[in-house]
């Protein structure tokens, strides 16, 4: 599909075609051409179109993080659809840093439905990991002249990140147990069973994948 053909879909009067265009984004077109169209679709009248546009924007964020973050933030401030909010907050958090924490926490506190809260919490987790790694690296390679204090701070940083990842591991065990329970009770809900089984397999395989990289 050429860019012009894709643009016709994006500007179609039919919401189905506008949502379809978000599954058919041309791969050989520059991001400079794609991003303005996606930003416009964030304000589409159709919930699904706004949702898909919010999801896609994170993919095209290179060198445009602030522009896209601002657009997603404005969308979140006025969006009423839980589905669109959920995808938008994840995309926002994929681009966010510690300066965005107050907005994300405020959004979490005002999120009513559990589905939205888990999306915001997931986003917070993504941001927290970025902050943790950034400051862990800074602390570990800090060249403070006060050697005894410097050594203590480095050791403390190592212990803290160990504690953080122990907590993540315990959370992982809880998720594994929950997914196993979902699978055992899914009955005729084939879609839920398949989704939970796939998620469980990927989570379990993460450790073996990390060991192979070593």
Buried b / exposed e across 8-32, counting CB within 10 Å, b at 16+? Answer: ebbeeeeeeebbbbbeebbeeeeee
Q: What is the 3-state secondary structure (H, E, C) of the chain?
A: CCHHHHHHHHCCCCHHHHHHHCCCCCCCCCHHHHHHHHHHHCCCCCHHHHHHHHHHHHHHCCCCHHHHHHHHHHHHHHCCCHHHHHHHHHHHHHHCCHHHHHHHHHHHHHCCCHHHHHHHHHHHHHHHHHHHHHHHHHHHCCCCCCHHHHHHHHHHHHHHHHHHHHHHHHHHHHHHHHHHHHHHHCCCCHHHHHHHHHHHHHHHHHHHHHHHHC
Domain ranges of the chain: 1-126, 142-214
pLDDT band of residue 17 (cuts 50, 70, 90) is: very high
Contact criterion met (CB below 8 Å) for 79 and 43: no
The residues near 160 (Cβ < 8 Å, ≥ 6 apart) are: 136
Q: Is the pLDDT of residue 86 over 90?
A: yes
Contact criterion met (CB below 8 Å) for 203 and 180: no
CATH topology of domain 1-126: 1.25.10
Tokens 């899914």 sit on residue: 186
φ and ψ at 146, to 5 degrees? Answer: -80, 90
pLDDT band of residue 43 (cuts 50, 70, 90) is: very high
* Mean pLDDT, the chain, whole residue set: 87
Q: Is the pLDDT of residue 51 over 90?
A: yes
Q: What is the pLDDT of residues 127-173, one digit of tens each?
A: 998 888 888 777 777 666 566 666 777 788 888 878 877 887 778 88
pLDDT band of residue 29 (cuts 50, 70, 90) is: confident
The residues near 159 (Cβ < 8 Å, ≥ 6 apart) are: none
């Amino acid at each position: 599909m050429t860019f012009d053909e894709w643009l016709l879909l994006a500007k179609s009067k039919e919401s189905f075609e506008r949502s379809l265009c978000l599954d058919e984004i041309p791969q050989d077109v520059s991001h400079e051409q794609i991003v303005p169209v996606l930003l416009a679709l964030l304000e589409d009248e159709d919930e699904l179109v706004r949702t898909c546009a919010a999801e896609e924007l994170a993919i095209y964020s290179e060198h445009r993080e602030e522009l896209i973050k601002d657009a997603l933030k404005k969308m979140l401030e006025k969006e009423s659809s839980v589905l669109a909010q959920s995808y938008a907050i994840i995309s926002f958090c994929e681009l966010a840093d510690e300066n965005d924490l107050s907005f994300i926490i405020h959004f979490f506190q005002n999120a009513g439905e559990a589905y939205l809260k888990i999306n915001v919490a997931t986003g917070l987790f993504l941001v927290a990991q970025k902050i943790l790694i950034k400051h862990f690296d800074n602390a570990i390679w800090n060249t403070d002249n006060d050697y005894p204090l410097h050594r203590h701070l480095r050791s403390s940083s190592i212990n803290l990140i160990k504690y953080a990842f122990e907590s993540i591991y315990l959370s992982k065990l809880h998720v594994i147990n929950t997914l196993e329970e979902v699978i055992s009770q899914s009955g005729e809900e084939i879609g839920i069973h398949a989704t939970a089984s796939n998620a469980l397999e990927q989570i379990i395989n993460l450790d073996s994948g990390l060991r192979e990289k070593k």
